[in-house]
């Protein structure tokens, strides 16, 4: 690398920015996304179904809307770690989502870039909305 000479204006050194434009194209197949239980492109739907199937709502939660956004990482060995909770309207629901995601650890095929395993981040969104009018009793919900 050559010698660095600072920019000078009227015999004084000045700050300046250099912008370097880089353009490159990754080869097809150079980046492979993580896969949950070997389901490829359907991995996120399978994960969503798994997590939602483990959510337990108590009677007081049936009439409200809830939203939980949890960041998680699929590590280079296929394990899962939880990142930040980006949004949560209920701490109990938040913990249930985190616990369910953690139980998927070891069931992932890691992501790869140029054949090397990489850590990949995801955000898991869970939005629960009551459908139709509020039920009259908790027993009405159990029948469906």
More confident residue, 20 or 27: 20
pLDDT digits (tens, 9 = 90+) for 56-109: 887 777 778 889 999 999 999 999 999 999 999 999 999 999 999 999 999 999
Residue linked to tokens 């027993």: 139
For the four alpha carbons of 4, 10, 15 and 20, in that order, the dihedral sign comes to: negative
H helices of 6-136, where? 43-53, 91-102
- Measured CA distances, 121 to 19, 22, 30, 34, 77 (Å): 29, 25, 18, 10, 14
- Measured CA distances, 73 to 19, 49, 76, 118, 122 (Å): 32, 18, 9, 10, 6
The overall pTM is greater than 0.85: no
More confident residue, 135 or 133: 133
* Closest by Cα among 108, 86, 124 to 33: 108
93: number of Cβ within 10 Å:
19
Question: If residue 63 lies in a helix (H) or strand (E), which one and from where to where?
Answer: none
Q: State the Cα–Cα distance between residues 109 and 47, nearest whole angstrom.
A: 13
Average pLDDT over residues 111-130: 90
Fold annotation for 32-129+136-142: TolA/TonB C-terminal domain (3.30.2420)
H helices of 4-82, where? 43-53
- Model pLDDT, residue 26: 61
Q: State the Cα–Cα distance between residues 134 and 46, nearest whole angstrom.
A: 29
Beta bridge partners of 81: 73
């Amino acid at each position: 690398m050559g010698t660095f000479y600072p920019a000078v204006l009227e015999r004084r050194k000045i700050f300046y920015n250099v912008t370097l434009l880089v353009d490159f194209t990754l080869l097809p197949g150079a980046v492979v996304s993580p896969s949950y239980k070997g389901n490829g492109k359907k991995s996120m739907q399978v994960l969503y179904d798994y997590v939602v199937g483990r959510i337990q709502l108590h009677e007081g939660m049936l009439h409200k809307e809830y939203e939980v956004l949890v960041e998680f990482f699929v590590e280079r060995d296929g394990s899962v770690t939880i990142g930040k909770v980006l949004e949560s309207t209920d701490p109990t629901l938040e913990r249930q989502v985190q616990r369910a995601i953690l139980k998927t650890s070891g069931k992932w095929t890691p992501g790869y870039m140029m054949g090397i395993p990489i850590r990949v981040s995801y955000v898991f969104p869970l939005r629960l909305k009551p459908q139709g009018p509020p039920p009259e009793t908790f027993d009405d919900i159990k029948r469906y």
